[in-house]
Structure 1
Amino acid sequence: MAKRNNDNISISDALKEFVETNRLEKGLDKVNVSDAWAKLMGNGVHNYTSSVTLERETLYIQLTSSVLREELSYGKQKIIDMLNEELGKDIIKKLVLR
């Protein structure tokens, strides 16, 4: 059982400590990347996206439109930079459009 702290701490600090203790950062990053993709790309691109998967430092995007995939391939680095900025840390190093 976890050690009980008698100090008063904020809820955000307690949640951060819980995430770090249970090593949940990677799972939360996967969820946050998917949400950031939907937010930054908008409905037009999101409607053609069938899956968003983060494995290690590579983001895999499955698209249903070959034309859209080709268009997005021209701005891969800009998309990576925008997603990392939205997430607040450098999670994504490589983007693979399928």
Structure 2
Amino acid sequence: MAKRNNDNQPIQDILKEFVKTNNLEGGLDKVNAREAWANLMGNGVNNYTTAIELKHETLYVQLSSSVLREELSYGKEKIVNMLNESLGKDLVKKLVLQ
């Protein structure tokens, strides 16, 4: 029978260790990037957002409005900085609006 570890640890530390040992950080980063986009852009932009995908430090955002895509393209650097600030790490290096 396996020996029980009686050391008390905060659940936060246990979850971080679980994520690290099972290589789940990449998937969580993708989910967090989607949530950060939705929170930062608000309902106006989210209504025209059809897909969001994070691949190799590049965030691909598909928009159904060409006018909105053009408008957002002027502030790409600011959006990337806001996303990284919201995520708490430099996860997004480039933003591609499709």
Same fold (TM > 0.5): yes
The DSSP-based 3-state class of the residue aligned with 1:71 is helix
CA distance in 1, matches of 2:7, 2:79: 43
Q: What's the CA shift for 1:5?
A: 3.7
RMSD between superposed Cα atoms in Å: 1.2
Question: Partner amino acid for 2:14?
Answer: A
Q: Deviations over 1:42-83 (max 9, x none)?
A: 000000000000001000000000000000000000000000
5+ unaligned residues in a row in structure 2: which ranges? Answer: none
CA distance in 1, matches of 2:58, 2:66: 20
Q: What's the CA shift for 1:6?
A: 3.1
Q: What's the CA shift for 1:17?
A: 0.5
Q: Deviations over 1:16-44 (max 9, x none)?
A: 01001101111000000001100000000
| 2:19 is aligned with 1:19 | yes
Report the counterpart of residue 86 of structure 1 in structure 2: 86
Percent identical pairs in the alignment equals 72
Tell me the TM-score normalized by structure 1: 0.94
| Cα 1:41–1:4 shift into 2, 3 Å | farther
Larger Rg: 2
5+ unaligned residues in a row in structure 1: which ranges? Answer: none
May I ask how many residue pairs the two structures share in their alignment?
96
| 2:35 is aligned with 1:35 | yes
CA distance in 2, matches of 1:16, 1:82: 25
| 2:9 is aligned with 1:9 | yes
